[in-house]
Structure 1
Amino acid sequence: MRAPLRWVLWDVKDTLIKVRASVGEQYCKEAEQKGLKLSPADVEAAFRQAYRHYSSTYPNYGISQGLDGQSWWTGLVKDTFSRCRVHEPALLDTMARNLYHNFCNAENWEVFPDSQKALEGCSALGLKLGVVSNFDSRLREILRACGLLSHFSFLITSEEAGAAKPDPVVFEQALQKCGVPASSVAHIGDHYVNDYVASRSVGIHGFLLERHVKQRQLDVPPEYRLHSLEELPSRLQQHVF
């Protein structure tokens, strides 16, 4: 890195936090409170089918088609339960609304053990931090509930940006907020295409987090490959001054 590093951008889901229980388990818990007995495995399979359908038919929360994150997610939840033979409209509306709001709570998310220390370590180096995430507008509240929001100077979600990673538009918006050249910015994420390749395509120094990787991406140099976020501050320190 020729230019001194000034900013670190972060992916969130599966980089800093993860869903605490499976979607099937969490959806079944909501259904059980309404007197329904469903199989978590069946609900999980139905969710994956519904998610693929909604993601392909209404990409990025259907923003370009007049939807928003809440209407996209509530539609997906109702589709999931419908695939499990739950068809009562009022019941579907209630469960979808409850689940949408429940996923703002810290109890449904788990902060990785290395997240806080890595964020604090980067700040201690004098680096400013921002978020670039394929997430809906609930992200700010989720980060606040998880005790992480105060670390960040700004958040860019794909819902608010109107584009999703790997679209370079998202990173270009982030660079505008940073106010420095791409060569003074790093990005950390767990997805090879959305985080590593996409950030590097605009000149940002992409780092790939590989917590539990079954197949390594061979074109990622060792110095840009992380097994844990604990490695990041020392990796970045040589590039700050």
Structure 2
Amino acid sequence: MRLQLLTWDVKDTLLRLRHPVGQRYQAEAKSRGLQVDSALLESSFRQVYRQQCRVFPNYGLSQGMTSRWWWQDVVSQTFRLSGVQDEKILHPLAEALYADFQTSKNWEVLPGAREALKGCAELGLKMAVISNFDRRLEDILRNVGLDGHFDFVLTSESAGVAKPDVAIFHKALKLGDVIPQCAAHVGDDYMNDYKAARQAGMYSFLLQEHLREDIPSDHVIQSLDQLIPRLRGLIK
């Protein structure tokens, strides 16, 4: 069957952070007169983020949270763990960083991404996003100039379910009005992107620098410029 819909992961597939989180948090703190080590902030963030994801998966939606609240809690806990205890400082810091991370100041388009999206459009493919991201993603895509490529953007927040649950792929297929055999997904995570899409009945391509022994080599793209030739074989 002819390929009709191509869905994309975003973070580390199309976009990446311009600077490590610790550096950005340090800069925001410094603008408010606080001196906090960026490496300590980075370590604290990773610890807090892992814990938050474990206790409140998918932004705590099923537990009555919002993604804004979830992220502001992550920021506040990161600074507390890094030695900042003044609650009067933590709240505005968390608000500022939540807003800041939806701007192009913190995100850049990966090399080859614009060309790959343009090439996919020229193949006549409908395109969409499936991402474990929050409601800010559409603003981020607009701010970096990628929003015009997609028919729809499906985040785990809007879907109410996160990858690798195949339900989010089923929701995307329904939105795209295609059957799984006419859709493919591109992403950089083996479980969330490659394997989950395959379990949903779609084609999928894993964006990784190195080939893996456990999946066919033609399912791996080591850079985005390899994608178009692979897709041509699915639309003939």
The alignment's TM-score, normalised by the length of structure 1, stands at 0.96
Equivalent residue for 1:37? 35
Q: Matches of 2:213 and 2:133 in 1, distance apart?
A: 28
Counterpart of 2:25 in structure 1: which amino acid? Answer: Y
For structure 2, list consecutive stretches of 5 or more residues without a partner in the other structure. Answer: none
Aligned partner of 1:222 among 206, 217, 220: 217
CA distance in structure 2 between the partners assigned to 1:148 and 1:190 by the alignment: 18
Q: CA deviation at 1:28?
A: 0.2
Deviation at 1:239, TM superposition (A): 1.4
Q: What RMSD in Å do the two structures reach over aligned CA positions? A: 0.8
Residue 78 of structure 1 corresponds to 76
How far did residue 217 of structure 1 move? 3.1
**Any idea what the Cα deviations from partners look like across 1:48-70, whole Å, max 9, x if unmatched?**
11101101110010000001110
- After the TM superposition, which residues 143-162 of structure 1 pair with which residues of structure 2 at under 5 Å, given as runs? 143-162=141-160
CA distance in 2, matches of 1:18, 1:140: 15
Q: Deviations over 1:66-99 (max 9, x none)?
A: 0111000000000000001111112100000000
What does residue 139 of structure 1 align with?
137
- The number of aligned residues is 236
Query: Is the partner of 2:115 in helix, strand or coil?
Result: helix
The separation in 2 between residues aligned to 1:145 and 1:230, in whole angstroms, is: 23
For residues 203 and 109 of structure 1, the distance between their equivalents in structure 2, rounded to whole angstroms, comes to 32
* Alpha-carbon contact 1:20-1:110 (below 8 Å) kept: yes
SS at match of 2:78: helix
Equivalences for residues 20-59 of structure 1 within 5 A: 20-59=18-57
Verify: 1:121 aligned to 2:101, yes or no: no
Q: Distance in 2 between matches of 1:196 and 1:141?
A: 26
Cα separation, 1, equivalents of 2:23 and 2:150 = 31
Calculate percent identity across the aligned residue pairs: 44
2: distance between equivalents of 1:106 and 1:205? 31
Letter in 2 for 1:108: N
CA distance in 1, matches of 2:158, 2:23: 29
SS in 1 for 2:105: helix
Residue 10 of structure 1 aligns with which residue? 8
Displacement over 3 Å in runs of 4+:
none
Q: SS of the counterpart of 2:235?
A: coil
| Alignment of structure 1 residues 62-211 onto 2, 5 Å | 62-211=60-209
TM-score normalised to structure 2 length: 0.98
Alpha-carbon deviations, 1:120-163, whole Å to 9, x = none?
00000000100000000000000000100000000100011111
8 A Cα contact 1:192 1:217, kept in partner: no
Give me the whole-angstrom Cα distance separating, in 2, the residues matched to 1:227 and 1:151.
Answer: 22
**5+ residue gaps, structure 1:** none
- 1:235, CA displacement in angstroms? 1.1
1:100 Cα deviation after fit: 0.3
